Homo-oligomer: A and B are copies of this chain.
Amino acid sequence: MEKMGATVVSNKQVLFRDYVTGFPSESDLPITSTTVSLKIPAGSTTVLVKNLYLSCDPYMRNRMRKPDPLIPATAQSFIPGKPISGFGVSKVMDSGHQDYKEGDLIWGAVGWEEYSVITPIPNLHFKIHHKDFPLSYYTGLLGMPGMTAYAGFYEICSPKKGETVFVSAASGAVGQLVGQFAKMMGCFVVGSAGTKDKVDLLKNKFGFDDAFNYKQEKDLNAALKRCFPEGIDIYFDNVGGKMVDAVILNMRPHGRIAACGMISQYNLQIPEGVYGLSLITYKRIRIQGFNAIDYFHKYSEFAEFVVPYIRQGKITYVEDVADGLETAPSALVGLFHGKNVGKQLVVVSRDLV
């Protein structure tokens, strides 16, 4: 393979200006342009990829904080002045790695830029085998959020047929799947979201039994009591804060809370307190924090499980697509204001060549 005289092209990037307190804004994520060689240097085992889709995920807010030795490395802070990174779908342009070759499609950790040079890591970079789905699905349904919903629901929630399930941020990348998995298992499922349109989506598109707009409810406890007169067995928590307290009040004995993420807290300098924790003793409630990365070795098991359901039309997925790397900062920032309807992603390029 020709390694000499490699083409050098421009490479737009989304930089991380500096550590953020409060809500991030677009000015925290300036766009810049550098250059990249389209050839991997001889002897290197890295891989050059062209990024096609980037995934906007709430956990990324935590990577905008000052580094904290108490936070595990899976949420390592972004480096000021460098491009931010996340999950994406990419095409291999050149490879010094024996397992990857030009033209391969992959999903996994990449920089927020047009081209990335990556060092493939098992269970953090995956080859895309099912190419009959929209490639963007590998930022969501068939990517990290899909694994999050799968591991979170089946491994963390210990669900049983007939149980009652509550999902917050339920129309989001993960929530919409958790609700559908729970329905498939024969659970009674209610979701919360922040707009009427999202609530409609939950009821009419994703098959939730009921849904409410938490912004329209004066009393979350009363809303949950109305939706769950017999109490909640499982809470899939994507928001944290006040909602956790309202859920604990309405939880049945031996209830389970999967602490998937707490987006309502990420931008607060002083987080909301959870006041009803002492009830978990009497109710024998289990609250379990988890991270999909710990389950990535089960990705092929997940794909085998979910792919037939997608093909049969039994699982549906709604995406919110921003077009062009320039729109990436506003797409990511919008997530923390609930602007996205469904999985937020950014198209960097639809050009597979």
Contacts and interface: CB of A to CB of B under 8 A. Distances in A.
Contacts of A240: 277-278
Contacts of A265: 277-278
Contacts of A352: none
Contact of A274 (B70, B253, B274, B282): B274
B275 A281 contact: no
Nearest to A284: B289
A72 interface: yes
A264 to B, nearest CB: 9
Please tell me the size bucket of the interface on A. 35 or more
A266 interface: yes
Nearest to A71: B282
Contacts of A72: 253, 282-284
A270 B275 contact: yes
A282 B287 contact: no
Given A70-B249, A72-B253, A253-B72, A276 B271 contact: yes
Interface string A247-290: 00110010000011110011000111111111111111111111
B271 A275 contact: yes
A240 B274 CA distance: 12
A98 interface: no
B75 A282 contact: yes
A250 to B, nearest CB: 7
Contacts of A250: 70
A265 to B, nearest CB: 5
A332 to B, nearest CB: 19
Contacts of A195: none
Contacts of A62: 282
A167 to B, nearest CB: 16
Nearest to A285: B289
Interface string A57-68: 000001000000
B284 A290 contact: yes
A177 interface: no
A259 B275 contact: no
Interface in A27-78: 62, 70-72, 74-75
Interface of A: 62, 70-72, 74-75, 240, 244, 249-250, 253, 259-262, 265-266, 270-291, 294
Given A259-B280, A271-B278, 9 more contacts: A62-B282, A70-B249, A72-B253, A240-B277, A265-B277, A266-B278, A274-B274, A281-B290, A281-B291
9 contacts: A72-B253, A244-B277, A259-B277, A262-B281, A273-B274, A280-B288, A281-B289, A283-B289, A284-B288
Q: Would you list the 5 A-B pairs with minimal beta carbon distance, nearest first?
A: A273-B273, A280-B289, A262-B278, A281-B289, A287-B287
